[in-house]
Amino acid sequence: MGELCIENLQKTYSVKDGWNRTKELSVFRDISFTVRDGEFVSVIGTSGCGKSTLLSIAGGLAQPSGGRILVDGRAISGPGLDRGIVFQEFALFPWLTVLGNVAFGLRSKGLPRRQREEIAARYVKLVGLSGFEHYHPNRLSGGMRQRVALARALAIEPAALLMDEPFGALDAQTREAMQNALSDIWAKTRNTILFITHDIREAIYLSDRVMVLAGRPASVTFELEVNLPRPRSRFDPLFQTFESQLEAAIGHKPMMAAE
Ligand SMILES: Nc1ncnc2c1ncn2[C@@H]1O[C@H](COP(=O)(O)OP(=O)(O)OP(=O)(O)O)[C@@H](O)[C@H]1O
């Protein structure tokens, strides 16, 4: 099971203005949606609309100002093994090998070493890094490092996987290869995924549904069901239509009457 339910979420930061007076910055409000068991949902929106804040709250790393997030019906109160997180920065331990990095998270599950390594090896294979188990991160490319981060998050077998711009630091070619890899992996694991990106095409390629955050304070202003068959082609004519709809919803360009 893995259902992530976001209920009436709000976030307000206290910030100082130019005269050193404290004022309240309302980042987003009234955000409610559910990522169903086995569903891939992306959140897109312009810079500063609160995407990373939303993910941090879902990860239990930040507190909401209102509302709550439930995983399989239980309200979260902090980080937990029921959620795996992958950030843009790879956040790997440089002194541990690929296998060591992936096995590390399993310590908190209280598993014996041998079992940790068995599970880690399985996930290293799943992300396509067989043969690199004993490499250290400094000998891996950016894409390979992000595969390790993905394997580490998957290995704890979380109810939900939270991904914050995971391919944002990669060059365009590697980014596309990683989108393909994630799509293939997800086809096998069917994890519940909440994915943050500012890349519209990436969201369409990967997601079952795309939520658009817009406005100040931001709220979900548009929701798109990406009913393209999988495995997907970036050349599908509908891809272009969805792209135009999402661009218009974000506010990049006006929607054409025919779209
Ligand atoms: N700790 C903080 N204190 C005060 N303001 C903050 C804090 N963290 C974020 N903000 C503000 O909250 C807003 C949302 O930030 P956030 O990083 O969540 O947006 P984002 O949509 O992820 O942006 P980007 O796409 O550029 O990463 C921004 O205006 C940001 O300046």
Residue located nearest, by CA, to atom 8 of ligand 1: 53
The token pair that represents 89 in the structure block:
């920065």
DSSP H or E stretch at residue 172: helix 172-189
**Paired sense of beta strands 66-71 and 74-75, if any:** antiparallel
**How far does the centroid of ligand 1 lie from the alpha carbon of residue 43, in Å?**
15
The segments of the chain whose pLDDT lies below 50 read 254-259
pLDDT recorded at residue 254: 46
What does the block give as tokens for 250? Answer: 């974000």
Ligand 1 neighbour 198 (Cβ under 6 A)? yes
Evaluate: CB of 59 within 6 angstroms of ligand 1. Answer: no
Residue to probe by mutation, ligand 1, list 10, 25, 44, 54, most atoms within 8 Å of CB: 25
**pLDDT given at position 259:** 38
pLDDT tens across 27-70, in order? Answer: 999 999 999 999 999 999 989 999 999 999 999 999 999 999 99
Could you give the CA distance from residue 104 to residue 29 in angstroms, rounded to a whole number?
A: 36
Assess whether the C-beta atom of 212 lies below 6 angstroms from ligand 1. no
pTM for this entry: 0.94
Verify cis geometry, omega within 30 degrees of 0, for the bond prior to 217. Answer: yes
- CATH no. for 4-82+159-251: 3.40.50.300
Domains of the chain, by residue range, sit at: 4-82+159-251, 92-157
**C-beta 131 within 6 A of ligand 1:** no
Q: Is the ipTM of this complex over 0.85?
A: yes
- In 3D space, the residue among 46, 53, 57, 56 whose CA is nearest the CA of residue 216 turns out to be 46
Q: How far is the CA of 53 from the centre of ligand 1 (A)?
A: 6
For residue 23, give the amino acid letter.
Answer: K
* 206-159-154 Cα angle (round to 5): 65
Tokens 């404290």 map to which residue? 22
18 CA to centre of ligand 1 in angstroms: 18
